[in-house]
Amino acid sequence: MAILDPLSSILEIWSVDMSLLEVHNLKKYFPVGEGLFSRHKGEVKAVDGVSLTVEAGETLGLVGESGCGKSTLGRSILRLVEPTEGEVYFQGKNLLSLSQRELREVRREMQIIFQDPYASLNPRMRVGEIVGEGLEIHKIAKGKKKRERVMELLNQVGLREEHYDRYPHEFSGGQRQRIGIARALAVNPKFIVADEPVSSLDVSIQAQIINLLQELQEKMHLTYFFISHDLRVVEHISHRVAIMYLGKIVEIAPSQTIYRDAKHPYTRALLSAVPIPDPEHKKERIILEGDVPSPVNPPPGCAFHPRCRYREDICDKVEPKLEFGAGGHGVSCHVFGPGKRAHPSG
């Protein structure tokens, strides 16, 4: 197998009943306190045993609070950070077993859009070079062909051809995010990790970018892994949603199920905390006590148990597993998991 051209070998293995992306028990631990004079003290379990699938053409939203490991998960999937353990199958091929050269080939199909459009564009490069760089690296086009393709991309993301020779600082935040999107699209990817792509934008601009991402998805049959802390944005754009807490997926389900019938106490607290733009809207707010515990030393058993008002004896002893019930609704909870108790409030 190894002597074959990597792309054709992908096509060979990838069978139709596999998902576009399958992640199995992925882990990423960062060492803490390791330095010239200090000994290895422990590790931050940023991603701690995540398994999930993403189907072709869908948007999987990943929600969680700062430090829960959602960005690290996104980057581990693309091998932008090297995972500690686990498997990532993209079109049937385990990315973690690929050599750097093979990986580069596969990266044509997988791109990333970053949160901060100010920091993710090289200030010394012109827009045309930024967007066109991937085309040259992957030997897709150069010279006049490249220029034409970049112009086409700029049009696609709502920029104009005269922007080709300008520098990033000449653009507003929303326009820079459009440049970032054009760069990701340049190599005709199938799969895009969007890491908080609208979080730094004002609402009116945020709506423009969300619409653009949705239009592009329909036109080009793109698959998104959409990372965000904003539950309203995620509800709008996602087909399915995964909720992450301290390095683990605690609940995953189709978007409507998550927003109408969440089971995990953390998901319910998270949803109830979102301010609703309607002064007459009355709802019960679940105020969580305390802060997210440190991922260096997570609580035993269910990591959420110290903040959970439904905790039972088992919760600080045994770690719950993500178990699936009807309709692809996965919950990791001893109390409200599939086939267990119903929520008192419905």
Partner 1 sequence: MAELIRVKNLRTSFFTPDGEVKAVDGVSFDIGEGKTLGLVGESGCGKSVTALSILRLVPSPPGRVVGGEIFYRGRDLLKLKGEAMRKIRGNEISMIFQEPMTSLNPVFTIGNQIGEAIRLHQGLGKKETREKTIEMLRLVKIADPESRIDDYPHQLSGGMRQRVMIAMALSCHPSLLIADEPTTALDVTIQAQILELIKELQERLGMSLLLITHDLGVVAEQADEVAIMYAGKVVERANAKAIFNRPLHPYTVGLLNSLPGVSGHKKKRLEAIPGMVPSPLELPGGCRFRDRCPKAAGICAEAEPELVEKDKDHGVSCYFA
Yes or no: say if 185 and 177 are a contact pair by the CB < 8 Å rule.
no
CB of 232 to partner 1, least distance (A): 4
> In whole angstroms, what is the distance from residue 320 CA to residue 301 CA?
7
Q: Specify whether the CB–CB gap between 117 and 173 falls below 8 A.
A: yes
Instruction: Report the residue number, 10 or 194, with the smaller CB distance to partner 1.
Output: 194
Q: What is the closest distance, in whole angstroms, from the C-beta atom of residue 212 to partner 1 in the complex?
A: 9
- Is the CB of residue 183 less than 8 Å from the CB of residue 131? yes
Q: What is the DSSP string of 291-306?
A: -PPPTTSPPSSSTTGG
**Nearest distance from residue 37's CB to partner 1, in Å?**
21
Q: Tokens 């010279």, residue? A: 143
In whole angstroms, the minimum distance from the beta carbon of 31 to partner 1 comes to: 21
How far apart are the C-alpha atoms of 168 and 321, rounded to whole Å? Answer: 46
Residue 100 vs residues 75, 105, 109, 172, 243: alpha-carbon distances, Å: 16, 9, 15, 35, 31
Q: How far apart are CB 196 and partner 1 at their closest, in Å?
A: 13
Strands 223-228 and 191-195, bridge-based pairing: parallel
Strands, E assignment, 96-153: 110-113
Q: Which conformational region is residue 90 in: left (phi greater than 0), alpha (psi within -120 to 50 degrees), or beta? A: beta
CA distance 269 to 287: 7
Residues that bind partner 1 (CB under 8 A): 65-66, 172, 174-175, 202-208, 210-211, 214, 229, 231-233, 235-237, 259-260, 269-270, 272-281, 285, 287-288, 291-292
For the chain, counts of helices (H) and of strands (E): 10, 12
- How do 323-324 and 330-331 pair as beta strands? antiparallel
Cβ at position 293, least distance to partner 1 in Å: 11
CB of 291 to partner 1, least distance (A): 5
**Based on CB atoms, which residue is closest to partner 1, 9 or 272?**
272
CA distance 195 to 243: 15
- Whichever of 19 and 214 has its CB closer to partner 1, that residue is 214
Rounded CA-CA distance 293/304 in Å is 9
- Would you say 250 or 270 has its CB closer to partner 1? 270
Closest contact distance (angstroms) between CB of 312 and partner 1 is: 22
Smallest distance, partner 1 to C-beta of residue 101, A = 40
